[in-house]
């Protein structure tokens, strides 16, 4: 190996080894500060309240509530209610064959929550998102194409 190449390789050590290490130290110090703030008190309540106030004070966000958030919330409530009402007990009984005394209930609850998340995602994507995609395509089709005049 030529001395030129070995010098350039040694010159890369600060850039490749030391700089990422320092960046990780700085990032972890920020993480420690964030954890101190979060663990010191109910900071999440402050941010939740600020988010609600921000939403109420900016009316351009209100159509989003009607178009996306409210249907998604109602769909989630309906799906989870039905899943817990109809499928929780049979899954607990089935899991009780293989698990110890209390873990069948816990595992069945997490199983139903996972199934509900999958069902809500599929239904939301299938029925609520397609309508907005089609509206966007119709809007795009109504636009007149730009023609260059030479």
Mean pLDDT of 111-138: 78
Find, among 61, 76, 74, the residue nearest to 116 by Cα. 76
d(CA 135, CA 131): 6
What's the pLDDT at 65? 80
Work out the angle between the directed axes of helices 19-40 and 43-57 (0-180°, nearest 10). 90
Mean pLDDT of 122-132: 74
Q: Is the pLDDT of residue 25 over 70?
A: no
Sequence ranges of the domains in the chain = 3-41, 59-142
d(CA 11, CA 77): 60
Mean pLDDT of 109-129: 88
Q: Is the pLDDT of residue 140 over 80?
A: no
Q: Is the pTM of this model over 0.75?
A: no
Indicate the pLDDT class of residue 75, thresholds 50, 70 and 90: very high
Indicate the pLDDT class of residue 114, thresholds 50, 70 and 90: very high
Mean pLDDT of 59-88: 88
Query: Higher model confidence: residue 149 or residue 35?
Result: 35
Find, among 87, 82, 132, the residue nearest to 110 by Cα. 87
What's the pLDDT at 61? 79
Indicate the pLDDT class of residue 103, thresholds 50, 70 and 90: confident
What's the pLDDT at 129? 67
């Amino acid at each position: 190996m030529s001395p030129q190449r070995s010098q350039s390789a040694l010159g890369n050590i600060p850039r490749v080894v030391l700089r990422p290490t320092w960046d990780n130290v700085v990032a972890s110090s920020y993480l420690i500060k964030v954890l101190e703030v979060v663990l010191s008190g109910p900071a999440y309540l402050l941010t939740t309240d600020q988010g609600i106030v921000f939403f109420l004070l900016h009316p351009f966000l209100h159509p989003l509530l009607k178009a996306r958030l409210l249907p998604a919330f109602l769909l989630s409530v309906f799906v989870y209610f039905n899943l817990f009402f109809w499928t929780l007990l049979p899954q607990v009984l089935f899991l009780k064959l293989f698990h110890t005394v209390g873990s069948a209930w816990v595992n069945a609850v997490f199983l139903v929550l996972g199934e509900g998340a999958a069902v809500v995602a599929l239904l939301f994507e299938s029925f609520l998102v397609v309508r907005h995609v089609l509206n966007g395509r119709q809007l795009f089709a109504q636009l007149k194409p730009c023609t260059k005049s030479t």
